[in-house]
Structure 1
Amino acid sequence: MTLKNTDERWGAISQLLHWLIVLLILILAVVGLVMVELPKSPRYFWVYDLHKSTGLAVIALVVVRLLWRWYAGAPRPVPGSPHWQERIANITHWLLYALMFAVPLSGWLFDSVSGLRPLRFFGLFKVPKLLPPSQSLQPVMRDSHEWLFWLLVALVAVHAAAAFYHHLFQHDATLRRMLPSRRRNVSSPSPASEIR
């Protein structure tokens, strides 16, 4: 597998960034839904700081992913895909990028206006506040963060469902090209389903 993307599939770096961001978003979702129920204790603040630091890490990874995509390009559409499907997939991808940036950014803004103690990014350095404390903006930022999160969840569900639909019913390479390629035994012929 090559590091850069090819016309047929995503390269190793794009795949690594994709699945790492997916994993971090899953962790953020679970922790974000659970932490509001935690009692106010030292562990409560530790979990909140971990959630916020992970969100900021997602922003950084999304920026890296976009820069890498600009540098390495993207695979061509899967052969035989209708134009309308390509168009919807393209719009969905860019909406996902926007939301993967907007959700943690809205959390950062919510943290800023809440006037809470300074956040240290994974305990390494202090993260600057984007806005001064504001009681009037707190509910707006909180609700924005929550609604953007649920919008991201819905879009990720649609994205995953489309990938599985292509894999299970269209039998094309849409999902496989974001997975590590399997090495083939040169002495034995590849099954027809694997030739793409």
Structure 2
Amino acid sequence: MPQRYGAIAQAGHWLTLLLIVGAFALGWIMGDMKMSPTRLKLFSYHKWIGVTVFGIAVLRILWRQWAKAPPLPPAMPAWERIGAHLSHWGLYALLLAIPLSGWLMSSAKGFQTVYLGQFPIPDLIGRDRELGKLLEEVHELLTTILLFVVGLHAAAALKHHYHDKDDVLTRMLPRWRNNGAAR
């Protein structure tokens, strides 16, 4: 079993983080904007990122079934092992549920998603204003939960690196090489 995550898993992890930060920033900015062409454009970008995150999450889950995660440190207590597994699968669930809730919300509000401005994605449900408002609240709640779990995930990685002094954090970082020697 590998002792580090491979390049594909690392790329998926860090790309997902960048996309989440971008989607959250756009959501935050456009939430306070008055309706305008700029706001509509930001909504489109936000939705495109969400569709991309959903697709990458599906690929990451499939990849993880094939390329298993490296083992956790042997000294890690059972409660931390359980927490690590629950938080990872919770993150995957949120990476699927949040874009799905956004897609449902857009459908209910009558705004079809057209990925990258070229590829129409069919609405999942019919137009329903009240359901759209409810789904907006669900979308925002799930995003808040995601931010909390990502923060917990990052704090745990830093705790392992600086307090436990194990390789939990570094196994998700790329190895930089100089003339074949690892730094």
Tell me if both proteins adopt one fold, taking TM over 0.5 as the criterion.
Answer: yes
1:177 aligns with 2:171: yes
Q: Give the structure 2 partner of residue 121 of structure 1.
A: 115
Cα RMSD, aligned residues only: 1.7
2:63 aligned to which of 65, 68, 82: 68
Report the more deviating stretch, 15-24 or 28-37.
Answer: 28-37
1:171 Cα deviation (Å)? 0.6
Partners of 1:152 and 1:75 lie apart in 2 by 24
Partners of 2:17 and 2:77 lie apart in 1 by 27
Based on CA coordinates, which of the two structures has the bigger radius of gyration? 1
1:148 aligned to which of 142, 148, 153: 142
Task: Name the count of aligned residue pairs.
Answer: 183
Q: Give the structure 2 partner of residue 3 of structure 1.
A: none
Letter in 1 for 2:77: P
Structure 1, unpaired ranges of 5+: 1-5
1:77 Cα deviation (Å)? 1.1
Partners of 1:42 and 1:98 lie apart in 2 by 33
Give structure 1 regions of 4+ aligned residues with deviation exceeding 3 angstroms.
Answer: 182-187
1:42 aligned to which of 28, 31, 37: 37
Task: List aligned pairs for 1:26-175, cutoff 5 A.
Answer: 26-116=21-111, 118-175=112-169
Give the TM-score taking structure 2 as reference length.
Answer: 0.94
Per residue, is there more helix in 1 or in 2?
A: 2
Structure 2, unpaired ranges of 5+: none
Structure 1 residues 34 and 133: CA distance shift in structure 2, 3 A = same
Give the TM-score taking structure 1 as reference length.
Answer: 0.88
